[in-house]
């Protein structure tokens, strides 16, 4: 018997979609309409660098326009190709539906290794790529709003926003054409940390449900849990450092491009991050074991495994050896469809990507709303909130004094209670609420239906149901 072949990322997404729709009662035409990717634009453009013209290939794929604008990151990586961009765009459709961000799904990519270029060159390349997309309405506040992804960040988003503003000088909503911008260029507090923060909130919500923990064979809370993270980039770094510093997790393994670090006592995530920035890799980091073949560390014993780098890292070849009882997919598509089957048979609980890394798009949604409303969150209410709270506290203290009760509030409590919420607190509150609500909608399906065996299928059922409802409401 021949070994079943490993599926591509796109095939994996399709298989997982099919598994879910088989359990739903959708008319076949509608099912197909939701599954297919509406359009993919490929652009090849030249940029003069170092005295000669270099040609680059980029993509922007629109999976579903049941809601507009469509939304999805722009990735800079050598592995970018049409299949990958389309798979990622499809995931964006389902992700937005699951967390109720009112967008269709899109994704973009540029086949480039950003480490090969200096900052000025990257700016020229980014502006030219943005120009190509803007002139085709593939970047537009009302139609298509990109965000950061692998290999891109605030800096690239600021260039894109500026390029759009230059080409649309009278568009008052120009800043809403892209999210993930720096604060001083129309960004929102808490966007950089958002995806990692969302991973933390997702895990906290999981650990609020003993029934779900029992399925993974876990007990207690996050404190002391052993975590292995792959990829200490934007998502992996924030997730790992919040889990370590705020929830007491022990980060016992960090896997990067050039190998992995292992320390059963727990790694100092910030120190590792600084080391990578200086030495371009983890090798040589003092006080921890270095493993050259980093991927083998995915197979080490731990309580929570967080793949936060790239797709397809857990596959048919290593899935059976994975020891973690709980995997949270911080990256998009880190587990192939074949590996997903193997892990499910082993009883591993997988918190799926479309939910686990939805913190980024959730806070992007808040940023887009902020840009359209042209005002920072909390600016109108904060002091009014403080004044009302102070009134209550003063009245309580007055009553206590009048009656000779001698009650006084501890100064720490008073100060904290009296402080109105700033933008960062509001963003975190909105994100926490979103992650809790979305988890509950998935687990309700997971537990209510005998035929739904895992959270991923449940997530697809919830989100496809929402997309189908939108299409039905439009009369399609
Ligand atoms: P990033 O570029 O900031 O970080 C990626 C990290 O992975 C880097 O540190 C890189 O060195 C490391 N890496 C690359 N190849 C590796 C390998 N083979 N083994 C181990 N490590 C490797 O990217 P990011 O924004 O953190 O994105 C990571 C994943 O999260 C991607 O799948 C992305 O689609 C997904 N994601 C990102 C966001 C976001 O807001 N940035 C939102 C949702 C999903």
Q: Is 104 helix (H, G, I), strand (E, B) or coil?
A: strand
Report the alpha-carbon distance of residue 465 to residue 338 in Å, rounded.
25
Mutate to test the pocket of ligand 1, among 76, 149, 199, 254 (most ligand atoms within 8 A of CB): 149
Q: What is the pLDDT of residue 4?
A: 75
pLDDT of residue 25: 92
pLDDT of residue 473: 87
From the CA of 21, how far away is ligand 1's center (Å)? 29
* DSSP three-state, residue 82: helix
- Residue 282 is predicted with a pLDDT of 97
Token reading at 397: 């203290």
Question: Are residues 359 and 167 in contact, defined by beta-carbon separation less than 8 angstroms?
Answer: no
Q: Quick one: which atom of ligand 1 is closest to the CA of 232? A: 9
Closest CA to 239 of 192, 276, 292: 192
154 and 183 in contact (C-beta within 8 Å)? no
Q: What is the pLDDT of residue 28?
A: 83
Question: Which residue, by CA, sits nearest to atom 23 of ligand 1?
Answer: 150
CB 109 within 8 A of CB 74: yes
Closest C-alpha to 211, from 303, 322, 349, 306: 349
Q: Tell me whether domains 39-187 and 194-359 share a fold.
A: yes
CA of 52 to the centre of ligand 1 (A): 31
Which residue minimizes the CA distance to atom 19 of ligand 1?
Answer: 257
Task: Determine the Cα–Cα distance for residues 373 and 402; give it in Å rounded to an integer.
Answer: 46
Q: What is the pLDDT of residue 2?
A: 63
Q: Which of 5, 33, 95, 107 is catalytic?
A: 107
**Alpha helices per DSSP H over 289-358:** 337-346, 353-356
- Distance, in Å, from the CA atom of 406 to the CA atom of 365, rounded to the nearest integer, reads 48
pLDDT value of residue 387:
95
State residue 407's pLDDT score.
83
CA of 346 to the centre of ligand 1 (A): 27
CA 176 to ligand 1 center in whole angstroms: 24
> Averaged in consecutive runs of 10 residues, what is the pLDDT profile of the chain (476 residues)?
79 93 92 94 97 97 96 97 96 97 98 97 98 98 97 97 98 98 97 97 98 97 98 97 98 98 98 97 96 98 97 96 98 96 96 98 98 96 94 92 88 90 96 98 96 97 96 82
- Listed by start position, the domains of the chain span 39-187, 194-359
Contact indicator for 144, 138 with CB cutoff of 8 Å: yes
Q: What is the CATH number of domain 39-187?
A: 3.40.50.10860
Instruction: Give pLDDT, residue 411.
Output: 82
Separation of alpha carbons 160 and 147, rounded Å:
10
Q: Could you give the maximum distance between any two Cα atoms of the chain, in Å? A: 87
Q: Are 6 and 316 in contact (CB under 8 A)?
A: yes
Quick count: other Cβ atoms within 10 Å of Cβ 437?
13
Say how far apart CA 328 and CA 264 lie, in whole Å: 20
Q: How many A from CA of 448 to the centre of ligand 1?
A: 34
Half-sphere exposure of 318 (CA within 13 A, CB side): 17
Q: Residue written as tokens 């605030």?
A: 154
Closest protein CA for atom 43 of ligand 1? 357
Residue to substitute in 179, 235, 255 for testing ligand 1 pocket (most ligand atoms within 8 angstroms of CB): 235
Residue by residue, DSSP assigns 379-438 as TTTHHHHHHHHHHHHHHHHHHHHHTT------HHHHHHHHPPP-HHHHHHHHHHHHHHHH
Q: Which two tokens stand for residue 235?
A: 């998502």
What pLDDT is recorded for position 386?
A: 94
Contact (CB, 8 A) for 110 and 373: no
Residue 95: active-site member:
no
Q: What is the position in ligand 1's atom list of the atom closest to the CA of 233?
A: 4
CA distance 207 to 218: 9
Ligand 1 atom with the smallest distance to the CA of 237 is: 26
- What is the architecture, at CATH level 2, of domain 194-359? 3-Layer(aba) Sandwich (3.40)
SS (H, E, C) 247-303: HCCEEEEEEECCEEEECCCCCCHHHHHHHHHHHCCCCCCCCCEEECCHHHHHHCCCC
Binding-site residues, ligand 1, Cβ < 6 A:
148-151, 195, 230-236, 255-257, 294, 308-310, 330-332, 357, 360
């Amino acid at each position: 018997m021949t070994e079943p072949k490993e599926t591509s990322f796109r095939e994996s997404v399709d298989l997982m979609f099919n598994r879910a729709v088989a359990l739903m009662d959708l008319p076949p035409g509608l099912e197909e309409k939701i599954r297919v990717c509406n359009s993919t634009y490929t652009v090849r453009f030249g940029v003069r660098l170092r005295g000669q013209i270099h040609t680059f290939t980029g993509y922007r794929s629109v999976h579903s326009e049941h809601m507009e604008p469509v939304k999805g990151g722009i990735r800079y990586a050598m592995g970018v190709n049409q299949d990958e961009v389309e798979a990622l765009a499809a995931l964006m459709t389902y992700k937005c539906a699951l967390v109720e961000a009112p967008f269709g799904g899109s994704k973009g990519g540029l086949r480039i290794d950003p480490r090969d270029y200096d900052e000025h060159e990257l700016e020229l390349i980014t502006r030219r790529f943005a120009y190509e997309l803007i002139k085709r309405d593939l970047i537009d506040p009302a139609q298509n709003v990109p965000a950061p992804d692998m290999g891109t960040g605030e800096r690239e988003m600021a260039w894109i926003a500026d390029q759009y503003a230059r080409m649309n000088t009278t568009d008052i909503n120009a800043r809403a054409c892209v999210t993930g911008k720096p604060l001083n260029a129309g960004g929102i507090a808490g966007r950089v940390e958002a995806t990692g923060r969302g991973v933390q909130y997702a895990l906290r919500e999981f650990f609020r449900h003993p029934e779900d923990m029992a399925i993974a064979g876990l007990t207690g809370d996050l404190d002391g849990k052993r975590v292995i993270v792959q990829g200490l980039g934007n998502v992996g770094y924030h997730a790992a450092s919040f889990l370590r510093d705020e929830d007491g997790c022990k980060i016992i393994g960090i896997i990067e491009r050039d190998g992995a670090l292992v320390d059963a006592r727990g790694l100092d995530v910030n120190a590792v991050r600084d080391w990578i920035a200086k030495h371009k890799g983890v090798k040589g980091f003092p006080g921890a074991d270095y493993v050259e073949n980093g991927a083998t560390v995915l197979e080490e014993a731990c309580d929570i495994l967080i793949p936060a780098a790239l797709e397809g890292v857990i596959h048919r070849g290593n899935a059976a050896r994975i020891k973690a009882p709980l995997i949270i997919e911080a990256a998009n598509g880190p587990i192939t469809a074949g590996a997903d089957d193997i892990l499910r048979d082993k009883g591993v609980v997988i918190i799926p990507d479309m939910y686990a890394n939805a913190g980024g798009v959730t806070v992007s949604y808040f940023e887009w709303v902020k840009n359209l409303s042209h005002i920072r969150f909390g600016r109108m209410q904060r002091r009014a909130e403080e004044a009302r709270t102070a009134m209550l506290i003063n009245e309580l203290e007055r009553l206590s004094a009048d009656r000779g009760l001698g009650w006084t509030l501890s100064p720490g409590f008073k100060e904290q209670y009296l402080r109105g919420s700033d933008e960062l607190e509001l963003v975190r509150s909105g994100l926490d609420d979103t992650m809790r609500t979305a988890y509950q909608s998935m687990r309700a399906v997971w537990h209510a239906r005998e035929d739904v065996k895992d959270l991923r299928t449940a997530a697809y059922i919830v989100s496809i149901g929402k997309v189908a409802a939108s299409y039905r409401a439009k009369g399609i």
